[in-house]
A and B are shown apart, each in its own frame.
Chain A
Amino acid sequence: MTTTFLGYPRENGAVGVRNWVAVVSVMDNCNPVTRTIARTVGGCIPVTTLFVRGQFGADLDFAFESLAGLGRNPNIAAVLLVGLEESSTEEVARRIRSTGKPVERVHLQPDGTVACIAEGTRKATRLSLAASNARRVPCPVSSLVIGVECGGSDTTSGLSCNPVIGRMADMVVAGGGTVIISETSEFIGAEHLFAERAADGRVREAFVTAVRNMENLAISRGVDMREDQPSPDNKRGGLTTVEEKALGAMAKAGTSPLVGVLRYGEAPQKKGLHFMDAPAAAVENLTALAAGGCQLTFFGTGVGNPIGSMVAPTVKVCGNVNTLHTMADNIDFDVSGILQNGDKIADLGEQLFGYAMDVASGTRLTSEVLDIRETAVSRFALSL
């Protein structure tokens, strides 16, 4: 079993599994310029966002910190920030420079779109040429931070793809690496089992409080959460209640002890299994995981959800034989043999770990090749 991969060492000791220049919007009104520059210059990815303009206080700080987290991600060799004006752009730049990576800025004011695109294209070109000098070198599993997530779940998810991801996650932790599971609302009904794995009382309390707050939010709104959780496609796939969904979803975390609880987009400070308190919807959750420094994300799906992270390549794992036929273009790793032929979860977990090393070394994924990638930083308060 290969326990190293070929990665890009960064200035701060982190390791990238990709080597992109990120063109990052500081606010929503910059997205058209961001997309144009990233489309024009090879080796760039666009990291767009909504809002920011009009956000204030803690919510604005959260927005800046999340965008900066995406820029700090070790898959990013260098960052070009596209802003409206200097002060907000500098606020994000300041939070990325701590990594030591190059950070350039362009602004829409005062010269407008065409001038901004021209200047940004020149700067991105220089960053991309310089980034291409990086070479992959053998790196240990302990330098990986892996996100585990699921979407378009059905009853096959809890029986096949999620346990296989969990087995792979255990191997990452055993190798000294870090795994982050998230999706707070999808722990409702299974939190008592996960809480037992907390390394200490403080971690346990932080985790249980996050899930309780999520449940209380649903209750305080007076809504019947069954209309949305499980979602209509989850129900079509046979999932009946949030408890059932949660018990299957939790399998992605494997069996390691829970050593830390993270805020949305917060980077882990130690190795091992962590929980991140973040919304469950795929794009928001993948964004939070990438902002927290995940270089790779593993996404179990049943009835099929094709979306991937822009910054942290997303491995689609599926065990539903029907979906593997109808959505073959969107699946990277087939585990349908578990339910069709009695294949062992442990065997497929080891194979997925081997595939993880390949992907970390540069093997590309469906969502990368087809560019089925999106970014959505959550917003938790109203804007001005």
Chain B
Amino acid sequence: MPRAIVLNPADNVATLLDAGQAGEACALEGERQGRLVLLQDVPFGHKICIADTVEGETIVKYGQVIGRASCAVRAGEHMHVHNIESARARGDLQKG
């Protein structure tokens, strides 16, 4: 079973320590225990959502903000650049 590590109790993402496939259950380790079914294939080292998230919600890893959800995401979905966006150093948002 692929392992997914949760680094801080406040986190809403976990990092996969093994590649996982859609429909497969992964084992949550670290600061949260349990199982979660993957809704998509997820590569080694990529993140999954561990709590249903609404658009604009803060994404937390290490107990710290790493960005915000750019759309609604369900627990078990792959979380990466397609549904998390950085809030920092965004010169593109300054264009008039």
| Chain A interface (Cβ < 8 Å from any Cβ of B) | 154-156, 158-159, 185, 188-190, 193, 214-215, 218-226, 229, 235, 237-238, 240-244, 247-248, 302, 320, 322, 339
A and B contact pairs by CB, cutoff 8 A, 24 listed: A155-B47, A158-B62, A159-B15, A189-B65, A215-B88, A215-B89, A218-B89, A218-B91, A219-B90, A219-B91, A222-B91, A224-B90, A225-B86, A225-B91, A226-B81, A229-B89, A240-B81, A240-B86, A241-B67, A243-B64, A243-B86, A247-B64, A248-B62, A322-B44
Contact A241 B95 (CB under 8 A): no
Question: Which of the residues A156, A235, A240 comes within 8 Å of B66, measured between beta carbons?
Answer: A240
Contact B47 A225 (CB under 8 A): no
Contact B64 A193 (CB under 8 A): yes
Say whether, besides A243-B64, A243-B66, A224 and B92 are in contact (CB < 8 Å).
yes
The residue in chain A whose Cβ has the minimal distance to the Cβ of B65 is A243
Say whether, besides A238-B45, A322-B44, A221 and B64 are in contact (CB < 8 Å).
no
Complex Cα distance A154/B16, Å?
Answer: 12
Contacts of B90 in A (CB 8 A): 218-219, 224-226
Nearest CB in chain A: distance from B69 CB, A = 11
Count residues on chain B whose CB falls below 8 Å from chain A CBs. Answer: 30
Contacts of B61 in A (CB 8 A): 244, 247
Contacts of A224 in B (CB 8 A): 90-92
19 more contacts with CB within 8 A, not counting A155-B46, A215-B89, A219-B91, are A188-B88, A188-B89, A189-B64, A190-B64, A224-B90, A225-B90, A226-B90, A229-B89, A235-B81, A238-B46, A238-B47, A238-B80, A241-B84, A241-B85, A243-B64, A243-B86, A244-B61, A248-B62, A322-B44
Instruction: Decide if B5 is an interface residue (CB 8 Å cutoff).
Output: yes
Instruction: Decide if B38 is an interface residue (CB 8 Å cutoff).
Output: no
Contact A155 B15 (CB under 8 A): yes
Contacts of A322 in B (CB 8 A): 44
Complex Cα distance A184/B94, Å?
Answer: 22
Contact B86 A242 (CB under 8 A): yes
Complex Cα distance A322/B19, Å?
Answer: 11
Complex Cα distance A157/B67, Å?
Answer: 19
Contacts of B81 in A (CB 8 A): 226, 235, 240
Complex Cα distance A242/B61, Å?
Answer: 13
Instruction: Decide if B79 is an interface residue (CB 8 Å cutoff).
Output: yes
Complex Cα distance A218/B89, Å?
Answer: 6
Interface residues of B in 45-74 (CB under 8 A from A): 45-47, 61-62, 64-67
Instruction: Decide if B23 is an interface residue (CB 8 Å cutoff).
Output: no
Q: Which among A159, A237, A238 has the greatest number of chain B C-beta atoms within 10 A?
A: A238
Contacts of B89 in A (CB 8 A): 185, 188, 214-215, 218-219, 225, 229, 242
Nearest CB in chain A: distance from B82 CB, A = 9
Complex Cα distance A339/B3, Å?
Answer: 10
The residue in chain B whose Cβ has the minimal distance to the Cβ of A321 is B44
Instruction: Decide if B9 is an interface residue (CB 8 Å cutoff).
Output: no
Complex Cα distance A222/B90, Å?
Answer: 8
Instruction: Decide if B17 is an interface residue (CB 8 Å cutoff).
Output: yes
The residue in chain A whose Cβ has the minimal distance to the Cβ of B67 is A241
Complex Cα distance A322/B15, Å?
Answer: 16
Contacts of A229 in B (CB 8 A): 89
Contact A238 B91 (CB under 8 A): no
Interface residues of B in 1-59 (CB under 8 A from A): 5, 7, 15-17, 43-47
The residue in chain B whose Cβ has the minimal distance to the Cβ of A227 is B92
Nearest CB in chain B: distance from A47 CB, A = 33
Contacts of A248 in B (CB 8 A): 62
Complex Cα distance A83/B28, Å?
Answer: 61
Contact A155 B92 (CB under 8 A): no
Complex Cα distance A221/B95, Å?
Answer: 10
Question: Which of the residues B44, B67, B79, B80 comes within 8 Å of A243, measured between beta carbons?
Answer: B67
Nearest CB in chain A: distance from B12 CB, A = 13
